[in-house]
Amino acid sequence: MSKPENAAPTHLGKRAKHFFQSIVADFEFEDHHVEILTEAANALDRAERCRLQIAKAGETFVDRWGQLRPHPLLAAERDSRALFARLLRELGLDIVAPDHKGR
């Protein structure tokens, strides 16, 4: 196993970059695991962008017929969070080892 020396992908937001860098600093991965980690960071970033947009616009809107509807990005946020969780499980990062110091 090798420890990737690369920094987080530059397109990621602050929170996703921090997540990526903290995981890379604490664990050793094969190259294909780094790809999975990158996709997890992308999912986290997408969920965060959706959350911010929903916070600005509100969770609901009134459609042209006067009906209250959920914001379309709620589904994208939910799906991105589910993908993030699934990819963490794939990497075995969904539990914290007893000797892990709260990171």
Q: How far is CA 8 from CA 18, 22, 25, 38, 52, in A?
A: 8, 10, 11, 8, 21
* Residues in Cβ contact with 102 at an 8 Å cutoff, skipping those fewer than 6 apart: 96
**pLDDT of 28-80, one tens digit each?**
888 899 999 999 999 999 999 999 999 999 999 999 999 999 999 999 999 99
- For residue 18, is pLDDT > 90? yes
pLDDT at 97: 54
pLDDT at 2: 44
Residue 20 CB neighbours (<10 A): 24
Domain extents in the chain: 14-91
Between CA 99 and CA 103 the distance in angstroms is 11
Pick the residue with more confidence: 8 or 75?
Answer: 75
pLDDT at 35: 94
| Sequential DSSP letters for 75-95 | HHHHHHHHHHHHHHHHHT-SS
